[in-house]
Structure 1
Amino acid sequence: MNNETVKQVTIKELYDLTETAAKPLLESVTYPWEALPKIKDFIIELGNSLDPEEYEKRGENIWIHKSATVFDSAYIAGPCIIGKDTEVRQCAFIRGSALVGDNCVVGNSTELKNVIIFNNVQVPHYNYVGDSILGFHSHMGAGSITSNVKSDKTLVHVKGADFDIATGMKKFGAMLGDYVEVGCNSVLNPGTVIGSHSNIYPLSRVRGYVPSNSIYKDQNDIVTKH
């Protein structure tokens, strides 16, 4: 990775860390993707410190808040934490290393793997979210997914108009800032970083950095919100 800090894609620029239990982990790194290899161990450590009066342990390294709703047909593998008042709906598939915040929706046939989901996030219908971080109040429309491995299996770079950061990572989905809206059936390619308060048009193919407060229509048509 480049030694120079690129402010636009740092944790401080993308996220309000008061809205996630992963705050201690994210404060320990500069770029959000640097937290991805550490999620599993962090969840286990955090889970073992949770109040059993609030969280029920439902299997090896699985902690679910007693106010959360988990449908019988959902599958959850550890390590995993499901926060307060969150819904895990029918046939959701949580493969492990998933830290899901408060007041979230993990919807029907949605798959999660190695993720941090901030509070008030919705991944409600047919979504795949892998090796990714979704910021506070972000939302993925029906059928939108994060692609987390390049087709040629090479290491992922994060690219903007004036920077190229070598992450050294093979598996890297997307980093969504706070209040990001992703339109239905969009694909977020490996290494996508979307700044806070931005909107992605439906059916988009997104790659690289999308600035905050933007509307992404296509790769060559990104406009600033007014």
Structure 2
Amino acid sequence: MGNTHAIILAAGKGSRMNSSKPKVLQTLSNNTLLEHVFSQAKALCDRIHVVYGFEGEQVQRKINDPNINWVEQIEQLGTGHAVAQVMPHIEDNSISLILYGDVPLIKESTLADLIHKAQQSGIALLSVILDKPTGYGRIIRQNEQIQAIVEQKDANNAQLNINEVNTGIMAVRSQLLKQYLSKINTSNVQGEFCLTDIIACAVADGQTVSSIVSKNQFEVAGVNDKVQLAELERVFQKNQATQFMQQGLSLKDPNRFDCRGTFTFGRDCEIDINVLIEGKVTLGDNTVIAPNCIIKNAKISNQVSILPNCVIEDCVIEDGATIGPFARIRPQTHIKTYAKIGNFVEVKKSTIGENTKVSHLSYVGDAIIGENVNIGAGVITCNYDGVNKHQTIIGDGASIGSDSQLVAPIKIGKNATIGAGSTITKTVSDNQLSLSRTKQTSLKNWQRPTKK
């Protein structure tokens, strides 16, 4: 877009958030409000300046990006004053794009159009039509040309009836911006240097103010409290869901689907209600995710069935595998083709081989399990000795009986069998049966205790 500088105003406290965090660090879809705005600016601008104030060190730590020039606004004297702090860092022969750190849904395409108009006319303003414009600065036009912006507190009755309002977002040739900022003063109800006053300065100077009128009020909506934050979260999620469905994803109910990361998918995938996607998640073709699942940073291949109420994180799941219901797949797990992880099974940092079944109530941690292995109900790999983690290796075709404990480090050979209820502490050879149960004893005269 040529030589363009973004100026993001992010100095406010946001008292109505009732939070120890600055307003711009409140999160929408797992990213801060400021990160959303920064992402759009980064796509269009050569340099990005962020004006910080309240809890500035906290803001800088969170948004740690070398592309940002941080500019402190020590005194909070209005938006015009905030922008003026950045002017020494900006060349005259550039475009300044003024953004707000609490307006997270602004579109890149809208900003690109605004910059283009500023390159042509010198100054371009983004406005929006609201049914209820109370609280916003009104756009004053004459013969369809913008003449001024009047803030709510300064407006007369006729001006209060105007429903085209200022968003605060504008693009201005930097030389003009510097010139007009030097002319504004605090002679308004707020007693602040208001950035909007530069519009009247430009008109008085004979400068045409071009504009873009947004058709989407949520695109330009700022966030002032937790109610508005939740409202924009739902708008953001619904927009994503609509885009995914247009790309071919089947969502049973788009109002009960959340994606808080990067999500890609193949053909004919289906997602049921109350599914949460986080981080980077990819699905292959014909994969189905049942209700109430959380999936984070996972690569899931073709024809995989994720049954209800599963938690899946930082793992790889290959073709044809079945997970759940009520399974937990923890980081560094690799589940191979057509494996089954069943009811109330937890797997951590393990490889589960092709066609292997871990069907019920088991814990598998720090293990390498071969192909066609059957793990019975209630089996535990005892991988932790109180200080260090140890590995369990199970060969192809092995069968581990229910309620067995495999005390690592340990190796179970190919086609070996472990009898139910065994605690195994030593290597089991290929094709060997091992068990550790004591001889069963029955007491003829034993009586069950009675309740006292």
TM-score scaled by structure 1?
A: 0.62
Given the alignment of the two structures, is residue 77 of structure 1 paired with residue 313 of structure 2, yes or no?
yes
Given the alignment of the two structures, is residue 181 of structure 1 paired with residue 417 of structure 2, yes or no?
no
Aligned ranges for residues 66-105 of structure 1 at < 5 Å?
66-78=302-314, 80-105=315-340
- Quote the Cα distance in structure 1 between the aligned partners of 2:391 and 2:424: 11
RMSD of Structure 2 on Structure 1 (CA): 2.3
Tell me what 2:382 maps to: 147
Tell me what 1:171 maps to: 389
User: Of Structure 1 and Structure 2, which has the larger fraction of its residues in strand?
Assistant: 1
1:57 equivalent among 282, 290, 294: 282
**Taking CA–CA contacts closer than 8 Å with sequence separation of 6 or more, which of the two structures ends up with the larger relative contact order?**
1
Q: Residue deviations 1:118-176, cap 9 Å, x none?
A: 1011011011000011111111100011010124x3xxxxxxxxxxxxxxxx2114110
Given the alignment of the two structures, is residue 115 of structure 1 paired with residue 361 of structure 2, yes or no?
no
Given the alignment of the two structures, is residue 138 of structure 1 paired with residue 373 of structure 2, yes or no?
yes
Deviation of residue 97 (structure 1)?
Answer: 0.7
Amino acid at match of 1:114: K
- Quote the Cα distance in structure 2 between the aligned partners of 1:219 and 1:208: 15
Given the alignment of the two structures, is residue 206 of structure 1 paired with residue 424 of structure 2, yes or no?
yes
Amino acid at match of 2:308: D
- Quote the Cα distance in structure 2 between the aligned partners of 1:219 and 1:134: 24
SS at match of 2:435: strand
Amino acid at match of 1:84: D
SS at match of 2:366: strand
**Which structure has the greater CA radius of gyration?**
2
TM-score scaled by structure 2?
A: 0.32
Q: Residue deviations 1:178-224, cap 9 Å, x none?
A: 1010000000001110010100000000012111110112399xxxx
Deviation of residue 84 (structure 1)?
Answer: 1.1
- Quote the Cα distance in structure 2 between the aligned partners of 1:208 and 1:217: 11
* Structure 2 unaligned residues grouped into runs of 5+: 1-264, 270-280, 284-294, 439-452
- Quote the Cα distance in structure 2 between the aligned partners of 1:209 and 1:219: 17
Aligned residues: 152
SS at match of 1:77: strand
- Quote the Cα distance in structure 2 between the aligned partners of 1:180 and 1:207: 16
SS at match of 2:349: strand
SS at match of 2:411: strand
SS at match of 2:350: strand
Q: Residue deviations 1:61-92, cap 9 Å, x none?
A: 311123010013110011x1111111101110
Deviation of residue 57 (structure 1)?
Answer: 0.6
Deviation of residue 53 (structure 1)?
Answer: 4.8
Given the alignment of the two structures, is residue 215 of structure 1 paired with residue 421 of structure 2, yes or no?
no
- Quote the Cα distance in structure 1 between the aligned partners of 2:421 and 2:319: 32
- Quote the Cα distance in structure 2 between the aligned partners of 1:201 and 1:187: 11
- Quote the Cα distance in structure 2 between the aligned partners of 1:211 and 1:218: 15
Instruction: Tell whether the 8 Å contact from 1:173 to 1:188 is kept in structure 2 after alignment.
Output: no
- Quote the Cα distance in structure 1 between the aligned partners of 2:391 and 2:421: 17
Amino acid at match of 1:102: T
Amino acid at match of 2:346: E
- Quote the Cα distance in structure 2 between the aligned partners of 1:60 and 1:213: 39
Percentage of matched positions with identical amino acids: 26
* Structure 1 unaligned residues grouped into runs of 5+: 1-51, 154-169, 221-226
